[in-house]
Amino acid sequence: MSFNDLGLSKPVLAVLAEQGYSTPTPIQQQAIPAVMAGRDVMAAAQTGTGKTAGFTLPMLELLKGGERASSNHVRALILTPTRELAAQVAESVATYGRDSKLSSAVVFGGVGINPQMMKLRKGVDILIATPGRLLDLYQQKAVKFNDLEILVLDEADRMLDMGFIHDIKRILKLLPPKRQNLLFSATFSDEIRALAKGLVNNPVEVSVAPPNTTAERVEQSLYGVEQSQKTALLCQLLRARGTPQALVFTRTKHGANRLVRQLEANSFLAAAIHGNKSQGARTKALDDFKKGRVNVLVATDIAARGIDIDLLPLVVNYDLPNVSEDYVHRIGRTARAGASGHALSLVSPEEVKQLRGIEKLIDQKIERLEAEGFIPVDLVRGRPAPAKQQQNRGGGGGGGRGRDSTQRGRDGGRSQGSGRNR
């Protein structure tokens, strides 16, 4: 199947061809016809599967034939959980809708509200927004929903995780009952289905992967290591792999800042992105990373959900997440759009409980590796390996990987650095 088979107009097809896209992904094959038919849609898809185009392309087709938005009104509303994802979706709308003559805007917190109010004054066909800032704008009478035709909840599961449920319910009460509803989520959890009951009407359900599965093309492995040794091991692994760029996850904002300082002290070009950073600083860090001015981007989960970077070969879990599902979202930053990628985790004795939860969720045992010069941690009992085991690491049974794993890292880094990754 090609995009030509989905009923898209010639201008949209031309833009897709320019972007190098000829074959729709599974989520696009199923979602685009349903949306263009005017149906409500519930779609379960992991990040990196092309879901943004799955609702953006048909939305543009549906809106282009109608009357343009009047003052302060919007015709389509896309709600996202984070500023970064909002900016990413807005970029896709602008790219795919380049020749449609439809207007669009993106609004989120952390920046001045007045320019956003001025943009909305003329009316906007497609508005991309985070829930909090949208409610602020509504309270200031800067946005009206009388003419709303389409509502999209993007990454609905993350919005619930981040505590936006009450904001979402407030927004839903403001919208006209007759509208098309599109709900996109990584999984159809009980909470998502409860939300959907009051949102979608006789929806088409689309699911392109079993719930909570990880990307098949992501090679996953981990190193058991003491917490105090993580930074030294990370530096060694980055140098050995020769990977041009890496996205590294920490559990806390302070941990992200501290790790950036340590990486810079070891001659890496690094930047942090988290909730305490201003929107300008977050945007600059992400832009520097995309353009190669920064080699290592250190992020927390909330800030990183909207990060979409082409050809990202490596994701590192410096700290394991407390919520197992966040592991799936993290490693989904690599191996996107048909490319391959690698996810490494540095696991301390204190994180054995989180590791067990992750492996239960993904229904697989993550490959254990050892690094030369670092004492391995017993991830069964959650403490350093017995002295006898440390002395005999060169033996069989999967333990003797010190020198071999370093060499494998060098080879793997070269081969994966050329391929990869939205």
Q: How do residues 371-418 score in pLDDT, each as one tens digit?
A: 888 988 877 765 555 544 444 443 333 333 333 333 333 333 333 333
- Kindly write down the DSSP assignment for every residue of 383-395, as one continuous string: EEPPHHHHHTTTS
Q: Which of 218, 270, 271 is nearest to 421 (CA)?
A: 218
The CATH homologous superfamily of the domain defined by 3-207 = P-loop containing nucleotide triphosphate hydrolases (3.40.50.300)
Angle among Cα 188, 274, 27 to the nearest 5 degrees reads: 30
Q: What is the pLDDT of residues 82-114, one digit of tens each?
A: 888 899 899 999 999 988 889 999 999 988 999
Rounded Cα distance, 272 and 302, in Å? 13
Residue tagged 């800042």 (tokens): 257
Rounded Cα distance, 146 and 249, in Å? 42
How many Cα atoms sit within 13 Å of 101 on the Cβ side? 5
218-417 adopts what CATH topology? Rossmann fold (3.40.50)
Which pLDDT score, from 0 to 100, does residue 325 have? 76
Rounded Cα distance, 295 and 252, in Å? 20
Q: Where in the chain is the domain with CATH 3.40.50.300?
A: 3-207, 218-417
Q: Among residues of the chain, what percentage have pLDDT more than 90? A: 47
Which pLDDT score, from 0 to 100, does residue 47 have? 66
Q: Is the pLDDT of residue 214 over 70?
A: no
Q: Which of 244, 224, 238, 219 is nearest to 406 (CA)?
A: 238
Please answer whether residues 22 and 46 qualify as being in contact, where contact means their C-beta atoms are separated by less than 8 angstroms. no
Which pLDDT score, from 0 to 100, does residue 160 have? 84
- For the chain, give the mean pLDDT: 83
The count of other CB atoms within 10 Å of the CB of residue 165 is 16
- Check residues 338 and 159 and name the one with the higher pLDDT: 159
Please answer whether residues 181 and 89 qualify as being in contact, where contact means their C-beta atoms are separated by less than 8 angstroms. no
- Encoded tokens for 288: 């520097």
- Check residues 290 and 296 and name the one with the higher pLDDT: 296
Which pLDDT score, from 0 to 100, does residue 162 have? 78
